[in-house]
Structure 1
Amino acid sequence: MPPQPLALIVLADDVTGAADTAARIHAAGLDAAILLGPGPAGGQALALTSDSRHVDAGAAAERVRAAVASIGARPGAIWHKKIDSPLPGHIAAELDAILDALGRRRAVGCPAFPAQPLA
């Protein structure tokens, strides 16, 4: 059977967020991978980090644009911006950068509270 196209791309601001999200996606039954650097991206879902939590807003936006560019155009894929519940980092700058890099104008905010608390 041929591989399924990439359907979901998760962008987190740190590697812990990318790994946690990929693990939850995998537990839900999708083939999920974590991309830690440049390279081929396959599977049904991909999680990557912009490593942007601890830099200023301008640098965070540039790192997000670079992360989106590293994946390239993926028609039909859903992009998910992982945001931690304490709302750390530069969320507005990063969302603007994702929309700009993808040539999109709108994003949907969807709060979620996982049943299992994270320490």
Structure 2
Amino acid sequence: MPQVPAPDLAGPLTQTLQALAGPGSFRGKAPFIQGGIGRIEAVAADRAYQNAAAQGKFPLSFTIANVDQNGGVATADVTATAATGGTATQNIVFTAGPSPSGWQISRGSALNLLSAVG
């Protein structure tokens, strides 16, 4: 029996990523990160964002492929492309949660994505 394809989550997942990659302090982006973000983590993330912005890496564009949903957890291969042309592809874990998009990025995926792009 063929597998039922995942519902079209590309839009909400992209919205989550765009909110995280957009301007503004990471303290205000806490609803998009599973478990929120602590004060020290927010300061470190803001610093990494400012450094990447100074290098001309923003805005980022995202391509989402291979979405798989199992209940309140979804995984997807996310390719982030920086304004400088650099790209990074990672498998990202999202969880259903109380964000405007209805999805949050897992804490581990958020840290990995920041490291890869920043």
Do both proteins adopt the same fold according to a TM-score greater than 0.5, normalized to the shorter chain?
no
TM range (shorter): under 0.3
Determine which structure has the larger strand proportion and give its number.
2
Determine which structure has the larger helix proportion and give its number.
2
